[in-house]
Chains A and B, each alone.
Chain A
Amino acid sequence: MSHIDEGLLHAYLDGETAGAERSGLEQHLEGCAECRDRLEQARALRDRSAAILSGSGPARVTPPPFEQVVARSRAVEARRRVFRLNRLTALGWAATIVLAVGVGWIARGTLGFGERPAQQPGFAMADSAVLQLAEQIAEPEADAPERTLAQAPTREGRVEAGRAQRRDEPAPPAVLKSETVPEEGVPLDARAEAEEARAKMAEADVEQQPAAGVATPAAPAAAAARGRGAIAQADSIEQAQSESKAAHDAFAAAGIRLDEVLGGAGEGTEWRVADEATANERLGGAVTPLPGAEVVAYLVPAEPDRAAVQLVQQLESGEAVVLMQERTTEMPEAEDAVGDRDELMAMNEPASQVEGASVTLRRGDFVLTLRGNLPPDSLRALLEQLP
């Protein structure tokens, strides 16, 4: 019989052999002086290496309480939930702002509030944001025609609402229109965008429903059209959305649960639409938007003493992002890291679990968080552009 392989000698010493293998080895060792010698060499090597390693360990390890690990695990899960909801909330906010703008437009037209300004860039921006968001929302369903908005149960209602609106009311934001003649007073930019929107709609749906501008995948816009009557008096995001059953239905058709987004889930913070001056006052200084991106809306928390502002901004590429600025001394401890470890973990989850991303940066007394449906690296680069 040949001599025992060195690996097997180590396995024998390590107690990793058993049964027939072990007894066979022992039998061989009894009759083979050379292998006994090699076994002792292997033993010496094993003991020596173990001794070397034992001298390099940490001084002494006292495990932190297991409860600490459990608490951290729960925090990560909670953060991940918030993270998912935040993205939906961001979409919901932007959509609702447009909805509120639409309401304002209609209310002004029907009730005679104020004069129509010469320029309404906010509307054009808002419409564009709606289109963008609607495309984002509709996109995941592109492969599931049975669930597209055009076939959603509420379609007829939306079409009817759209027709009624065109007959009876002044021009709403461009995305809701389907006539080819530009409305008087609508800024040129908005007209151009309306044309573009109509072109997109026509591609998708014109043959079956020539007048079905609102039945395109622009779910938030459709929600705006259907829900505007119910939310005319709304002064908060929650109110605006929760009071509109039609908006709920339309959002649901797009796969967004408004009650989850707005029902106090997420961060548990109620945000209200504000103007720039109010936002500045709340933050105790000038709110700094991302450079080169239009501010679609300013949001402030309902709690009056919280020094935080969220800006919904639209990048040149059309993507909507939400920039939160909060004055605090409590938030992430990382002084220069972008995102803390748990957040980075969340970002590394598969896209099916966490859509979009969020990066956090501390600047002096401020914690800045940027959320959006962009890769974390892009968000980080954007956030770092803040002066």
Chain B
Amino acid sequence: MSVDWAEVYRTTFEDLVRFLHRKVWDADRAKDLAQEVFVRALDHEPENPKAWLFTVAGNLARDEARTAIRRRKHLTLLKSEAAGESAPDPAEELDRRQRMEQVREALNQLSDRDRDVLLLWDAGLNYDEIAAESGLSKGAVGTTLARARRRLVEAYGALEDEDVAHR
């Protein structure tokens, strides 16, 4: 089977960055890693591109979390996020950053599997693809997603309440 990689790139890159961003929490790094995933894909030419891309992205993100580069880059996280492609209103930007930190914290309260399944769904993978990627049966994907969504909403709600109480 011949894969039109330019097309896969066009339709998947953004999802891949979003997926990676929630793993490494650094927009620049997420873009770098997404590109690297595609570089590897061109080398390996996998038959099932989407599942392969997200599997490799997940692995790279895991490796990334273990490196010193990750820690160093983290120091510039807020700066690089702020230096996005448009110059947003500072108040809005502050708000967005706070929200992002809360999401990050809420996601950290999920189990690894629940978080992975949720992020894969959010990145646009369907149940079959999530099942292939996570090793779950297709039937278990819905159950896992239901649990992950509930936990995220609860954890995020608790953080918001905490935030309100501090103001």
Q: Complex: how many Å from CA A50 to CA B84?
A: 22
Q: Which B residue's beta carbon lies closest to that of A6?
A: B146
Contact of A66 among B10, B43, B149 (CB under 8 A): B10
How does the 8 Å CB contact mask read for A85-102 relative to B, with 1 for contact and 0 for none?
A: 000000000000000000
- Knowing A49-B152, A50-B122, A57-B21 are in contact, say whether A7-B143 is a contact too (CB < 8 A): yes
- Knowing A16-B126, A59-B88, A61-B14 are in contact, say whether A42-B146 is a contact too (CB < 8 A): yes
Q: Which of A48, A49, A73 has most chain B Cβ within 10 Å?
A: A49
A-B contact count (CB 8 A): 126
Q: Complex: how many Å from CA A62 to CA B35?
A: 12
The reply to whether B142 and A49 form a contact with Cβ atoms under 8 Å apart is no
Q: Complex: how many Å from CA A380 to CA B87?
A: 43
A11 cross-chain contacts in B, Cβ below 8 A: 127, 141-142
How does the 8 Å CB contact mask read for A263-302 relative to B, with 1 for contact and 0 for none?
A: 0000000000000000000000000000000000000000
Segment 37-72 of A: residues with Cβ below 8 Å from B: 42, 45-46, 48-50, 52-53, 55-64, 66, 68-70, 72
Interface size on B, residues (CB 8 A): 53
- Knowing A55-B99, A63-B10, A76-B43 are in contact, say whether A49-B17 is a contact too (CB < 8 A): no
B interface SS class: helix
The reply to whether A77 and B145 form a contact with Cβ atoms under 8 Å apart is no
The reply to whether B38 and A69 form a contact with Cβ atoms under 8 Å apart is yes
Minimum CB–CB distance from B110 to chain A (whole Å) comes to 11
Q: Complex: how many Å from CA A55 to CA B138?
A: 28
A52 cross-chain contacts in B, Cβ below 8 A: 103, 106, 152-153, 156
Q: Is residue B158 contacting chain A, with contact meaning CB distance below 8 A?
A: no
The reply to whether B17 and A14 form a contact with Cβ atoms under 8 Å apart is no
- Knowing A7-B139, A46-B149 are in contact, say whether A69-B18 is a contact too (CB < 8 A): no
Minimum CB–CB distance from B113 to chain A (whole Å) comes to 14
The reply to whether A55 and B39 form a contact with Cβ atoms under 8 Å apart is no
The reply to whether B100 and A48 form a contact with Cβ atoms under 8 Å apart is no
Q: Interface residues, chain A, CB within 8 Å of chain B?
A: 5-11, 14, 16, 42, 45-46, 48-50, 52-53, 55-64, 66, 68-70, 72-73, 76-77, 337, 341, 345
Known pairs A57-B18, A57-B21. 20 more at Cβ < 8 A?
A: A6-B143, A7-B142, A7-B143, A14-B127, A16-B126, A52-B106, A53-B22, A53-B152, A56-B99, A56-B104, A57-B22, A58-B21, A58-B27, A60-B85, A61-B31, A63-B9, A66-B9, A72-B35, A77-B43, A345-B40
